[in-house]
Structure 1
Amino acid sequence: MIDTTTAPYGILALRVTTGALFLFHGLVKLLVFTPAGTAGYFESIGLPGALGYLTMLAEIAGGLALILGVRTRLVSAALVPVLLGAAWFGHGGSGFNWSNAGGGWEYPVMWAVVQGVLAVLGDGAYALLPGDKSAARARFA
């Protein structure tokens, strides 16, 4: 049974935590690796360099949207392919364990599942621009 009093706050914690992690990862690509370096890395693993720029944008914009609670379902669903791409192309050859050299695929797949769950759960408490308010009211009424 869902505790309708506390569930929206649990969703809020999940939304803000994952948003902060996305924002951090995007800012590392922007400020540490630089956009050109990020694009170069994507090219080095056989992907178009432009995908590096798009990934950086998705992580920064998606992270901010999640933190603020802007269209959580849509944003979370859009981030699932980014994470699965990271698992497949960036970490797939490194095995399962995240502690393996090059990082394994378990961590990005776990985050893809978390984003899928957020896409199902919705905004939670304190969303700036919630998705479907009527569905949220019915779910937590």
Structure 2
Amino acid sequence: MIDTRTAPYAATLLRVALGILFLAHAGLKVFVFTPAGTAQFFQSLGLPGPLAYLVIVVEIVGAVALIAGVYSRLAALALIPILLGAIATVHGPAGFFFTNPNGGWEFLALWIVGLLGVALLGEGAYALRLTPSTLRSTATH
């Protein structure tokens, strides 16, 4: 049985934690590896270099959306392909355990499960919940 009194707070905790993780990973790409270095890494994997810039933007926008609670379900689903791509290109071939050289895929798989949880649960408590109707009503006032 789900405790309806605490479930909204659990959803908030999950979406904010996942958002912070994505901000950290985007920050790593921006401040440590640099966007140009990340693009070179993507090219070394046989991916188009400009895809790195798109990934960075999606990670940042998705992270902010999760943390703020704005379109959290959509943001969670939009972030899953990034993790699947990371599994397919880097972490999957390294094996299951994240402690393997190049990191394994178990952490990313857990991350995907968490994102699916947010997609199923919704924003939870303390969210900015923007909907098309609230956008229309704010635009007219």
TM-score, normalized by the shorter chain, greater than 0.5:
yes
| CA-to-aligned-CA distance 1:79-106 (integer Å, 9 cap, x gap) | 1111111111121110111000110111
Query: Tell me, what secondary structure is at the counterpart of 1:123?
Result: coil
| Structure 1 stretches lacking a partner, 5+ long | 133-141
Q: CA deviation at 1:31?
A: 1.2
Partner of 2:22: 22
AA at the equivalent of 2:4: T
Q: Deviations over 1:39-94 (max 9, x none)?
A: 00011111111111111111111111111001000000111111111111121110
Q: What CA distance in whole angstroms lies between the structure 2 residues aligned with 1:131 and 1:117?
A: 20
1:64 aligns to what? 64
Q: How far apart in 2 are the matches of 1:30 and 1:88?
A: 22
Separation of aligned partners in 2, 1:96 and 1:123: 30
Aligned residues, how many?
133
What is the RMSD computed on CA atoms of the aligned residues? 1.5
- For the pair 1:106 / 2:106, whether they are aligned, the reply is yes
SS in 2 for 1:62: helix
Counterpart CA distance in 1 for 2:127 and 2:12 is 8
> What is the alpha-carbon distance in structure 2 between the residues aligned to residue 125 and residue 97 of structure 1?
34
Partner SS for 2:93:
helix
| Distance across 1 between alignment mates of 2:130 and 2:3 | 20
Residues of 1 paired with 2:12 and 2:130: CA distance?
Answer: 12
Partners of 2:39 and 2:127 in 1: CA distance: 33
Runs of 4+, deviation exceeding 2 Å: 129-132
Aligned identity (percent) is 53
TM-score between both structures, scaled by the size of structure 2: 0.89
Q: How does 1:1-141 map to 2 (within 5 A)?
A: 1-130=1-130
